[in-house]
Amino acid sequence: MRCNRCGTLVALAAVVALVEVAAAQEIAGMWVLQDVNAEILARQPQNVRVLAIREARGGLIGKLIVPRLAGVPVAVEQHGDRVRLVIQMARGMETPLEGTLTADHLSLTLPGSTNPPTMLRRPSAEELQLLERLAPEKLPVPSMKALPANGLARTPPMGFSTWNHFQTEIDDRTIRDIADALVATGMRDAGYVYVNIDDGWQGERDEHGNLRSNRKFPDMNGLADYLHGHGLKLGMYTSPGPRSCAGFEGSYGHEEQDARTFAAWGVDYLKYDWCSAGLIYDDAEMPAVYLKMAEAIRATDRPMVFSICQYGRADVWKWGADAGGNLWRTTGDIADQWQVMSTIGFAQDELAPFAKPGHWNDPDMLEVGNRHMTAAEYRTHMSLWALLAAPLIAGHDVKSSAPETVALLTNREVIAIDQDPLGRPGRRVVQRGPLEVWTRPLEGKRTAVALFNRGAVPATIEASFAELGIDGRAGAIDVWAQRSLDVFEGSVSADVEPHGVLLLVLEPS
């Protein structure tokens, strides 16, 4: 039977296809908020947010440009005049937006939101010229290759970082006082040896391009000597971009020079935070960007633990070790809140195969002692990080540590689980609603077992030995109570408080 309408339908389909292609071409380019103007771009570029969209491999990709801070990847889908964007801040931190394209305007809203849409428009020619100044010219990066291990961090690094509590309110005296407190509290002897100065120490470059510390840190060599004299190690922070996350000088274009400066100061640990590098590079270029600094560090002949910080984007666990990383962030920033900490921690299960001695998944720093979670929640925090073989980097004010905070952070059995020489992270073996059971194999055929209650009411949690991968009978140590329990046979069962944990070490009997 002949189709009299087929020709019409084919023609109509061709017209629709042409319209959609035209629409895709229309959305490519720069977009700015409706109320942005040339004067703002010239005088206050740090207050401008720019959406840049371009065609790539037959599709569309985007980037949210936040001047002096970051270029955040944006997934772009378009169907006619309908647009869907997903801002990919970090692993587990995606923000979807839906919108409509009309001529030179784009309206965007969060799905289900009742707030007015965010309106964007095309910039003028004058504004485009100003926007082009937001990011410097892209410098070349090395061809990607696999660096051999540097022999450091055979167990997850332990120490302290300034960011969670102090952020940029830091100086030489604060660091020395923290060093003294790490010794006095026994935290140093428990393994917390790295003292990491995060963002906020940077000054300007001298006439030769050498990066100097700001006036709050008048003598980095002297500070390093003080830490080393107390059995501690110095960690520093910089960015592969032109600016750090807090707007200080970054290492862009000065990688080799800054690596030599850090080595001369006596630095033992370097955190390399993506930040404004996203203004210049795409996520696909991350491995080579980090490799460039790793090679610069190796060239100094000073051993430095290399911490890759790019929020778990671009599947960093698949290439972090090859790029010279001893640890790599797998998430967005942690916060001293149960919902944030637990969401981050319990999402790490699938990444376990990528960690091993010398190379660790990093779900971010500890919040223990910052006083916005309960004691039960902090025990869960520590237990989960130990099961994950995560770096234990304290983030509270060590100078005013409460005794219970010190006790949580220095529990020997918890630290022994985290630092177990097998280096095999734990995995989830049971999940029943908010109740989870995780296990981690330990040296000496022992097994760490954690019964987690993520719910808001007390609950009985049970796991069979078959689920735990244990045969026969097993003796048990209650890690937090620091006492031996009766021999278990066939299963483990316990009542667990809300947001709490029972952490055991089982040994076949």
- SS3 assignment, position 222: helix
CA distance 460 to 465: 16
CA distance 234 to 268: 5
Handedness of CA 213, 223, 290, 341 (dihedral sign): negative
Q: Is 252 exposed, middle or buried (0-12, 13-18, 19+ CB in 10 A)?
A: buried
Report whether 249 contacts 203 (CB < 8 A): yes
Helix, strand, coil tally for the chain in percent (to 5): 30, 30, 40
Q: Is 333 a catalytic residue?
A: yes
Report whether 65 contacts 49 (CB < 8 A): yes
Report whether 462 contacts 476 (CB < 8 A): no
> What stretches of 312-415 adopt beta strand conformation (E)?
327-329, 360-362, 392-394
Q: Is 5 exposed, middle or buried (0-12, 13-18, 19+ CB in 10 A)?
A: exposed
For 410, residues 6+ apart whose C-beta sits below 8 A from its C-beta are 185, 186, 187, 190
Report whether 446 contacts 477 (CB < 8 A): no
Element (H, E) at 413: helix 412-418
Of 273, 336, 362, 418, the active-site residue reads 273
Residue 369 CB coordination number (10 Å): 23
Q: How would you write 233-247 as a 3-class SS string?
A: EEEEEECCCCECCCC
The amino acid that residue 147 corresponds to is L
Which of these, 308, 358, 368, lies nearest to 187 by C-alpha position?
A: 368
- SS3 assignment, position 185: coil
Of 180, 282, 333, 349, the active-site residue reads 333
What are the tokens at 205? 């470059």
For 147-160, the DSSP string reads PPP-S--SS--EEE
Q: Is 273 a catalytic residue?
A: yes
Which positions are catalytic? 273, 333
